Amino acid sequence: MPLFDMPLEELRVYKPQRKEPADFDDFWRETLSEARQHDLAATFEPIDSGLETINVYDVTFAGFGGAPIKGWYLVPRHLPAPLPAVVHYIGYGGGRGYPLEWLEFPSAGFAHLVMDSRGQGSDTADMPNGVNPAVPGYMTQGILDPRTYYYRRLYTDAVRAVDAIVTRSEIDQKRIAVTGGSQGGGLCIAAAGLRDDVAYCLPDVPFLSHFRRAVDITPNNPYQEIARYLATHRDKIDVVFNTLAYFDGVNFAARMQAGAFYSVGIMDTVCPPSTVYASYNQVRSQKRIVEYHYNNHEGGGAQHLLEKIRILRELWLA
């Protein structure tokens, strides 16, 4: 894929004006307050995973609307508490899968909570609006009102996942990181923007930022779900982008107090690099971005995963 977005020197300084609703903070304060009226009811049921060095727990906690959200919790078996922790969010259409798919962070010395994404491909239904996970798309579900939009529920779940991990006595609450790729990257930016106690945010090729530009320039899903919706609902353009402003990673990044370590694929046609930089350039805390010049949405792959582990170990385990 050839370069299709801005030149790199322009990307590095790209900071478009934020289009933020006047009641953005009130909207999220009320949303999280409503969610926390439900008992978190976090349970961590040990399972026999066949692993000798890592304990694995089947997690359930109450997310948006009190709906049960699933996850995995993996903990190094022989390391003393308190442990640093990583909360991990999943890419678009994916689910928590199997514990064996999530060994990197616990093998490196971190407690690791992997949140299932409601309605997407694994074990958590999008209650009360559905009875089972389904294949994409989700981008336009309830999009005519921020209160009914699908991502209001998923962002709230992301915050509640941090609520869940801090109930664990073996966790050092001052050493909590959030991470994920694509949709998971967007979720970790939202979680870090909504919780001051997240210490580090590591989004890879993050989705869910700078929506208008993304929808206008990328030919690929998931953003093209919105374009196809608007091709039919021609009179709803302003309404749709007003809703999306409540969920834009640009606005959450501006509120982030956590340190940040981003990755970007300069040839990424799924999450165009300008949309990643639009978020990254709003971060005011200590930050760094790694550019993978000839990569698309795979970004840095395993190489970048090793970099994330290295950075967190140097910060918290050196």
Whole-number pLDDT of residue 136: 76
Please name the amino acid found at residue 120. Q
Burial class (CB in 10 A: 0-12, 13-18, 19+), 88: buried
Whole-number pLDDT of residue 1: 63
Active-site annotation holds for 268: yes
Active-site annotation holds for 293: no
pLDDT digits (tens, 9 = 90+) for 241-271: 999 999 999 999 999 999 999 999 999 999 9
What CA–CA distance (Å, rounded) separates 217 from 14? 16
Q: Which DSSP category does 134 fall into?
A: B
**Whether pTM exceeds 0.95:** yes
Q: Active site residue: 5, 112, 117, 182, which one?
A: 182
pLDDT digits (tens, 9 = 90+) for 91-111: 999 999 999 999 999 999 999
My answer on whether omega of the bond before 133 falls inside 30° of 0, hence cis, is no
What CA–CA distance (Å, rounded) separates 16 from 137? 28
Whole-number pLDDT of residue 290: 98
Burial class (CB in 10 A: 0-12, 13-18, 19+), 61: buried
For residue 181, give the 3-state DSSP assignment. Answer: strand
Phi, psi of 271 (to 5 degrees): -120, 90
Phi, psi of 114 (to 5 degrees): -105, 115
Whole-number pLDDT of residue 277: 98
Tokens encoding 188: 């970790």
The dihedral sign for the CA sequence 307, 116, 40, 113: negative
Q: Active site residue: 157, 204, 248, 268, which one?
A: 268
Cα dist. 94→120, 123, 137, 300 in Å?
Answer: 6, 10, 12, 19
Of the candidates 38, 136, 49, the one whose C-alpha atom is nearest the C-alpha of residue 99 is 49
Cα dist. 301→102, 103, 200, 258, 267 in Å?
Answer: 15, 15, 20, 23, 14
What CA–CA distance (Å, rounded) separates 189 from 166? 18
Strand-pair partners of 289: 262
What CA–CA distance (Å, rounded) separates 85 from 95? 20
Which stretches in the chain have pLDDT values below 70?
1, 129, 131
Contacts of residue 18, Cβ cutoff 8 Å, sequence gap at least 6: 248, 250, 251, 254, 282
Please name the amino acid found at residue 125. A
